[in-house]
Structure 1
């Protein structure tokens, strides 16, 4: 197995403070250990809340990232001597899969929203059961990218243990191997660019749809813009956050990129956990029963779809309303 000559591993390239370390850990821990699991339980078990598999994947991605970022807490090695080699390599491997799984999960969510919005704009119903292969690709691609990055990092790190260190990145264990980090940066940048393209394209279609609805207030089954705007807003946020994270690989002195990307899971909670149907389930005692609104016969970008391509009735979707 190829072994690369190991230079002295830099110490504390990221100039963080103890307070910033605690903030980093809290930002990763509370959504992954509490907030997102609660949100997923609501989505999975509530009959009133329907979400697409791409949304579920997004939540799972940030749960994985948060747990991975907390490994040194479990080991009691957030400060002091270097963690055990296996723990440090495990965390580095998992976190180097972070850009791939988070960017792919965001891309698939934005892409699905784009397909639904475009179909609605052209007067067609986008149905996953008509695109089973696409549904499978959208469902598993974040995990494929993640595991490829994890395995490559683990192989390189196991062959060159001197390149794996916690002190180098301050907040977490990392791998000092420029060819791999450059490749990771390029791949993630391509995914982020695709997310940006579909996000802008979706905004253009939404603007056209809004103009149509504004000019024709009598239109039946008009589109509610709340959810698409939330998804597009998150898509742009994750582009900025991951771009900062990728830039930090090249110039890692500032702790800001790591703190920004650590806040992504909290942003997911704020954007998607505050939707009306989710709040109705969580705070059930505060909501009175209301008669359901008449809805457009359109599969929502957040309706639940399993891999057999079965649809929930459109009447259960509260986001496309007349």
Structure 2
């Protein structure tokens, strides 16, 4: 007689090719691309990035590894993985919405603080340790809370833990859990949009000052890094928003594939910055850009424009 608590049916209709694509999108940046990018940032004397960006790279490496757990154990297809293994992956991946949204929010927030301080000509008062540690640690706190909540729900209801339900990875079937995670991530995404719009307003007002006859610009018009950060923030908002909707009514594999592209997007947007490209092409001798060093500083620098170190 069939069990009354059989494993949830497969509600994401994916193909073998899509499964391979999902794994490739998670593995190549987390196992190759992002480690190379981090190595350039940490070991090159000419490349400087704020810890929130380093944190972002480390975070997406963790996400990529968590997404690959079933591949490591040879359980991507075939019989269901053990409940313990499945719950391990589900717990980590259910922390991704809160974790990734907080990582993006901290990066956008740091960019906003530096842009505002530069425009307002605020004087640096030295390292702000509490703020820095908070910006680094809060995403991991959100991840830890999500992992513990998922682990508790899954352990209390083992029949809700299944790989079949989400096809690409293990999940826990719980409306309350999914709703709570989606709600928290949505708040973070809303805050990210607010800071991005606020930054655009600041930059637009400064640009209008530049257009005034005889007016001196408060900042230079080198906007490469802010625009890159905002482009990534908008991608995260769209991708995670799509992913959160899929948690409530998951049918198409597209949301999972879109969010799996996030680490690749990080590499394409930030790994192509001029100073990183110069560090990779070390045989080419070119002057460094102080602008990028300015925006990567731990605290807003005491400068009149982006071009001053």
TM-score, normalised by the number of residues in structure 2:
0.91
Partner of 1:87: 85
Higher mean alpha-carbon deviation, 204-213 vs 179-188, is at: 204-213
1:302 to 291, 296, 300: 296
Quick one: distance in 1 between partners of 2:126 and 2:106?
13
Partner of 2:203: 206
Quick one: distance in 1 between partners of 2:46 and 2:33?
19
Deviations 1:234-269 (A, max 9, x none): 111100000011100001001110000000110000
Structure 1 runs not aligned, ≥5 long: 1-5
Deviations 1:198-254 (A, max 9, x none): 011111111122233344686486252000000011111100000011100001001
Structure 2 runs not aligned, ≥5 long: none
1:173 to 167, 170, 173: 170
Quick one: distance in 2 between partners of 1:281 and 1:182?
44
Within 5 Å, give how 1:11-90 maps onto structure 2.
Answer: 11-90=9-88
2:232 to 223, 231, 234: 234
Q: Relative to structure 1, is the Cα distance of residues 84 and 7 closer, same or farther in structure 2, using a 3 angstrom cutoff? A: closer
Local SS of the residue matching 1:13: coil
TM-score, normalised by the number of residues in structure 1:
0.88
Deviation at 1:151, TM superposition (A): 1.1
Deviations 1:32-60 (A, max 9, x none): 00000111111111111000011011111
Q: How many residues align?
A: 304
Q: Relative to structure 1, is the Cα distance of residues 127 and 237 closer, same or farther in structure 2, using a 3 angstrom cutoff? A: farther
Deviation at 1:175, TM superposition (A): 0.5
Local SS of the residue matching 1:284: coil
Deviation at 1:157, TM superposition (A): 1.1
Tell me the C-alpha RMSD between the 2 structures: 2.4
Contact between 1:126 and 1:299, CA under 8 Å: does it hold in 2?
A: no
Partner of 1:3: none
Quick one: distance in 2 between partners of 1:26 and 1:239?
22
Q: Relative to structure 1, is the Cα distance of residues 194 and 84 closer, same or farther in structure 2, using a 3 angstrom cutoff? A: same
Contact between 2:89 and 2:169, CA under 8 Å: does it hold in 1?
A: yes
Deviation at 1:8, TM superposition (A): 3.7
Deviation at 1:77, TM superposition (A): 0.9
Partner of 1:262: 260
